[in-house]
Copies of this chain bind each other. A is one copy, B any other.
């Protein structure tokens, strides 16, 4: 059984990779470089794909940052340190749609029947493309968009963390032997992958380790 695993190098997607491996999938890890502020996540993804036994790891560059519109791809926009109302400025327009689309293409080529994505509706409730409705709509699209779908073998889109809180994800990952010291969640990680400790993503992650009663292995820059 082959699966594409979208692997950002962060906590959620690495847990997903470990979970897919436990379920005996031959994993094709896929990292999309859409012009994030730093390459530290990509270096982390490379190490984690190897550590968790991915059969292949591909990095696809998309010069998506030229569009701007998100604090994650536009250096002129500030990264927020508090959670506001509505859709956060860290939302990257159509990011998960683009990532799943590229995964769908690779799935067709390697004949993988499943795509795993680490989206989470609990912590990222403000992101339109982290909700179950989004995953269901992409599943419906995959049924008609591909050769496999037409032939009656639709590619399955799985988001096993979608309803889990950060502490539960960490507890699952600890059981699966995830190397959380290598994962990078911070929106402002430095070039060595050290976390700022202050942004939304750092805060959520730190609270998760506390709630899971796991000592936080994150490397902070200060």
Also in contact, A109 and B93, with CB within 8 A (given A101-B98, A141-B141): yes
A69 contacts B150, CB within 8 Å?
no
Q: How far is the CB of A203 from chain B (nearest CB, A)?
A: 23
The one of B60, B128, B143 in contact with A145, judged by C-beta atoms closer than 8 angstroms, is B128
The one of B102, B109, B141 in contact with A68, judged by C-beta atoms closer than 8 angstroms, is B109
The one of B94, B133, B143 in contact with A104, judged by C-beta atoms closer than 8 angstroms, is B94
10 smallest beta-carbon distances between A and B, as pairs: A69-B109, A94-B105, A93-B108, A94-B104, A93-B105, A101-B101, A137-B141, A98-B101, A97-B101, A133-B144
A residues contacting B by CB (< 8 A) are 58, 60-64, 66-69, 87, 91-98, 100-102, 104-106, 108-109, 128-129, 131, 133-134, 137-138, 140-141, 143-147, 149-150
